[in-house]
Structure 1
Amino acid sequence: MRSSDPTYPLFPIFAFFGFILPLIPLQWHLAAWNSGTCYFMIWASLASLNQFVNSIVWADNVTNWAPWWCEISIRIQIGASVAVPASCMCIQRRLYQIASVQAASVTPAEKRRAVLVDSLICLLFPLCFITLQYVVQGHRFNIYENIGCAPAIYNTLLSYFINFMWPIIIGLISAFYCVLTLRAFHRRRLEFSQFLSSNQSLTISRYFRLMALATTEICCTTPLAIAVLCLCATSEPIEPWRSWSDTHYQYSRIVQVPALIWRSNEMLVASYETSRWITVLCPLVFFCFFGFVHEARKHHRALFNAALKRLGYQQPPLPPQKDPS
C-alpha cells in the first residue's frame, strides 16, 4: 500500500543518520572541552532519534501504540526546541571570548567554570523549560498520522511567554554574540591569531567551522520559531488564561489526527514538515562541517578498524615507505 507521506521512507533514513553521524566526532570534542558543541551534538542527535522512532511507529496510522513513549517524546521535542539554540548560543559566546582575546578556558579551573556555565544553559534551562510546559499543556499529547507524538500546548496568551518566545530570544542573543564576534575579530586579528597558535584544542579552521555552524543554526531556527509563533497567533483565536482547572480540563485525553485532516491545511503542513526536517538536517549539517576534517577522518578510520577486528578481519599492514635517497 502506498504511504500517505510523500517523504516516506526518505525522512526516517535522514533521521537515522541524523542520530548516528553527529555522535562520531563527540569523543574529540569532549577531549577539547568544547562543552557547547558537545551539548549541541547530543541534543540534535536525540531529537533526530525521536523523529526517527515517531516516523516509523506512526507511519499511516494514529493508533496509540505506546503512551509512555509519547510522554517521553513530547518532552524531548520541547527540550530540544530551546536546547539546540541554547547550545549554539554557548558556542557563539565562547567564540566571542576568543575573538576578543579574553581568558578562554586556558586553565583547568577556567575550563570547569566554562563547562558549568554551559551545563546550566544547555541542560538545566531546558529541563526547567520542560517542567514549565505543564502549565500551558491542555491535554496529555496529540498523535498526528505520519508525524507521531506532538505536545498539546493550549493556545492561550500565557503560552507565548512560557513556550513560544524563548527560542526567538535565544536566537537573538546568539545573533548579538555573532555580531560582537565579527567586530572583535576585525579589530584584533593579530592577537586572535597569536592566541589560537598557542591553543592546542582550537585551530583557526575549527574556529571558523564553529562560527559557520552557529550562524547557520541562527538563520534556520530563529525564523522558524518566529513563523511558528505567527502561525499559532493567526490560525486560531488566542484564548485568555482563565484558570488552572480550565486549562487542564479533561487533561487525560489524547487527540489523534489523521493525515487527511491535518494535510488539508497548507499552513499546518508547511509548519510540521519544516519543523521536523530542520530537526534532522541540523545534525547532518554539523557532520558536514566536522565529519570530514583530518581529526574526524582519523577517528572514522579507528572505528572502522575496530569494527573489522571484532568481526574477525585484520587490516593488512601498510607497505613500507621507500627511502627517497
Structure 2
Amino acid sequence: MALYAQTLLVPILSVVSMVLSITPLILHWQNRNWPATCLICWCLGLNLFNVVNALIWPNDDIDSWWSGVGLCDLEVKIMIASYVAVPGNLLCIFRNLASVLDTRRATLVPSKQQRWRNHFIDILFCIVVPVMAMITHIIYQKSRYVLWGISGCVNSFDESWVSFVLSFIWPPIICFIAGYYCGLVLYRLHKYRSQFGSILESANSNLSKSRFLRLFFLSFVMLLAIIPTQIFVIYKNVQYSYPWHRYSWSTAHSPDWGTIPKWRSDGEVFFDRWVPITSGFLFFLFFGCGHDAARIYRTVLRFFGFTCVRGPPLASTVSSGTGSMNSRAKILGRKKRSSDSRTYVNNITSTRVAGTIYEDLEMGASVPRGPKRSAWLRLFKLSSRVRKPPTPDLSTPLNLICTNAWAGTSMSRGSSDFTETPTRRDFIRVKQVISQESEVQL
C-alpha cells in the first residue's frame, strides 16, 4: 500500500522541531526557568510520539498493524497528562512574569515561606495535576486505547458526564487562569513601561528585558493558539458523546475492554499532532536566535573541531545566559572616591576634607571602565607633591574645632502598584552611605 504524504511530513517535521528545541531547553535549564523547561520537555515527548507512531503505523493496512501493547498504554497516559500540563506550564510562566513586576510584594530577600509557595505552585501545575489526570483516566477509560493510521495510539473515553467533569473541562479552565495572569502582565507592562528595565534589574530573577519580552510573547502566542483549540476540542467531545448515559463502572469497563479498535486515517492525522510541531519552531524562533544561543552553537562547533569559529568581541556584564541570582541581596558595588585636598593659608589654617561615597545598586551597577588604583598609592603621590606645613607658633592662643558628621539614607522602590510615578528614581532599591570628616584648626 502506498504511503500518504503526511506519513513522511509528520515525522520529518517532528524531528526538525525536536532538534530546534534543544538549544532553548538548555538555556531555560541553565537559567532555572522550570515551567518553560517543562513546557519544552512535554513538546519534545509529544514530537517523539509523532515520529514513532508514523513509523509503526504508516498506512491503512489494518491487518498488518502491530497491536501496540505496552507502547500505547504508556502513550495514552502521557497524552492525557499533556492536555493539562501544557496549559499549566503557561499559567506558571505568566504567574512568574507577573510576580517580577509586582511592586507591592517586593522584598529584598524572599522569605522561606514565599520561596516554598512559588515552588509549590510550579510543582502543582507542572507535575501534580498531570499525574492526577493520568490516575483518574482509568475511571472514564472506555477501552484500553484506539489505533489510528499515522496518528497511532489514541485515548478513548466513556460517553458520560464523568468524562466531562474529570477530563474535558479542566484544560479550558487552566487556560482561562493563565489568561488572567497574562492580562496582569500586560497591565503592569503598560503601567511600568518607563521603569521596566530598572524593575527587572532589582528583581530576583534571571530575566533581562529581552529575555522577559521573548518569554512573554512566546507564551502569549501559544496561549492564543491553545484557548480556541481547547474550546473546539471540548465542543467536539461533547458533540460525539452526547446524549450521555448514566455512569457505571461495569458499563465503562465491560468484558471487551481489552479489545483494541482500529481505524483507517485516509491520509489525515489528528489535528492535535501539529501542536507540538509548531511549538518547537516557536521555541527556536524566540530563543534559538539570540546571543546566548549563538554561544551554545559556537561551543558545539568547537567541540566538533571547527576552531576557526570566533567568539564575541566583548562579553556582556549586564545579562548572562548561565548567571543565576539567588536573592536580591546579591549586589554589584560601585565606589566613588573624591580626591583629597589640602590648603594652607597664612601658615595658621589647615583644612583636610575627605569624602567617601558608596553606592550599592541591586543588580544594576555598572563596572568602572578605568583600572582601579589603590587609595594608599594615590595619597602617597599626593602627599609627595604638597609642601610640608610650617610648625605653628605654640605661644599664640589656639582654638581647635573638630567636627565629625555621618549621614545614612536608604531608599526603596514604591510598595504599591497604584501610586503615582515619582519624579526621581526611588523605585530602585538603593543604599547610600555618605561619610564626611572635617577638621578645622583656627
TM class by shorter chain equals 0.7 to 0.9
Counterpart in the other structure of 2:264: 258
Separation of aligned partners in 2, 1:25 and 1:108: 30
Given that 2:160 and 2:241 are in contact with CA atoms closer than 8 Å, whether structure 1 keeps it comes out as no
Counterpart in the other structure of 1:220: 225
Given that 1:89 and 1:214 are in contact with CA atoms closer than 8 Å, whether structure 2 keeps it comes out as no
Counterpart in the other structure of 1:315: 307
Q: Cα–Cα, structure 1 residues 241 and 78, in superposed 2: closer, same or farther, change >3 Å? A: same
Letter in 1 for 2:85: A
Q: Cα–Cα, structure 1 residues 103 and 39, in superposed 2: closer, same or farther, change >3 Å? A: farther
Counterpart in the other structure of 2:415: none
Given that 2:44 and 2:276 are in contact with CA atoms closer than 8 Å, whether structure 1 keeps it comes out as no
- What does residue range 174-253 of structure 1 map to in structure 2 within 5 Å? 174-198=178-202, 201-249=206-254, 250-253=256-259
Given that 1:156 and 1:239 are in contact with CA atoms closer than 8 Å, whether structure 2 keeps it comes out as yes
Separation of aligned partners in 1, 2:90 and 2:241: 32
Separation of aligned partners in 1, 2:120 and 2:214: 24
Counterpart in the other structure of 1:98: 100
Q: Secondary structure of 2:6's partner?
A: coil
Separation of aligned partners in 2, 1:279 and 1:317: 33
The counterpart of 1:140, out of the listed 136, 141, 144, is 144
Separation of aligned partners in 2, 1:314 and 1:204: 32
Letter in 2 for 1:50: F
Q: Cα–Cα, structure 1 residues 133 and 103, in superposed 2: closer, same or farther, change >3 Å? A: farther
- What does residue range 260-275 of structure 1 map to in structure 2 within 5 Å? 260=266, 273-275=270-272
Separation of aligned partners in 2, 1:129 and 1:188: 39
The counterpart of 1:297, out of the listed 291, 294, 301, is 294
TM-score, with structure 1 as normaliser:
0.86
Given that 1:91 and 1:214 are in contact with CA atoms closer than 8 Å, whether structure 2 keeps it comes out as yes
Counterpart in the other structure of 2:278: 281
Deviation at 1:210, TM superposition (A): 1.1
Counterpart in the other structure of 2:70: 68
Deviation at 1:19, TM superposition (A): 2.5
Given that 1:99 and 1:184 are in contact with CA atoms closer than 8 Å, whether structure 2 keeps it comes out as yes
Deviation at 1:282, TM superposition (A): 1.4
Counterpart in the other structure of 1:27: 26
In structure 1, the gaps of 5 or more residues are 264-268
Q: Secondary structure of 1:25's partner?
A: helix
Deviation at 1:234, TM superposition (A): 1.9
More strand by share: 2
Counterpart in the other structure of 1:266: none
Q: Which moved more, 1:98-107 or 1:196-205?
A: 98-107
Separation of aligned partners in 1, 2:207 and 2:139: 42
Q: Which has the larger radius of gyration?
A: 2
Q: For each residue in 1:131-163, what CA deviation from the matched residue of structure 2 results, as whole angstroms up to 9, or x when unmatched?
A: 111110001000001110000112221111111
- What does residue range 44-123 of structure 1 map to in structure 2 within 5 Å? 44-60=43-59, 61-62=61-62, 63-101=65-103, 102-103=105-106, 109=112, 113-123=117-127
Q: Cα–Cα, structure 1 residues 81 and 202, in superposed 2: closer, same or farther, change >3 Å? A: same
Q: Cα–Cα, structure 1 residues 106 and 160, in superposed 2: closer, same or farther, change >3 Å? A: farther
Separation of aligned partners in 2, 1:112 and 1:295: 29
Q: Cα–Cα, structure 1 residues 224 and 233, in superposed 2: closer, same or farther, change >3 Å? A: same
Given that 2:302 and 2:309 are in contact with CA atoms closer than 8 Å, whether structure 1 keeps it comes out as no
Q: For each residue in 1:214-245, what CA deviation from the matched residue of structure 2 results, as whole angstroms up to 9, or x when unmatched?
A: 11111111111111111122235332233111
Q: Secondary structure of 1:9's partner?
A: helix
Q: For each residue in 1:273-322, what CA deviation from the matched residue of structure 2 results, as whole angstroms up to 9, or x when unmatched?
A: 3211112211221121111111011112212322x1xxxx3524759x9x
Given that 1:79 and 1:129 are in contact with CA atoms closer than 8 Å, whether structure 2 keeps it comes out as yes
Deviation at 1:89, TM superposition (A): 0.7
Given that 1:209 and 1:289 are in contact with CA atoms closer than 8 Å, whether structure 2 keeps it comes out as yes
Letter in 2 for 1:315: T
Q: Cα–Cα, structure 1 residues 139 and 113, in superposed 2: closer, same or farther, change >3 Å? A: same
Given that 1:20 and 1:45 are in contact with CA atoms closer than 8 Å, whether structure 2 keeps it comes out as no
More helix by share: 1
Q: For each residue in 1:189-214, what CA deviation from the matched residue of structure 2 results, as whole angstroms up to 9, or x when unmatched?
A: 34432121245710111111111111
- Give aligned pairs, total: 305
Q: Cα–Cα, structure 1 residues 119 and 241, in superposed 2: closer, same or farther, change >3 Å? A: same
Using CA pairs under 8 Å that are at least 6 residues apart, name the structure with larger relative contact order, 1 or 2.
1
Separation of aligned partners in 2, 1:138 and 1:90: 32
The runs of 4+ residues in structure 1 deviating greater than 6 Å are none
Deviation at 1:103, TM superposition (A): 4.3
In structure 2, the gaps of 5 or more residues are 314-442
Q: Once the two structures are aligned, what percentage of the paired residues are identical? A: 25
Cα RMSD (Å) of the superposition?
2.4
TM-score, with structure 2 as normaliser:
0.64
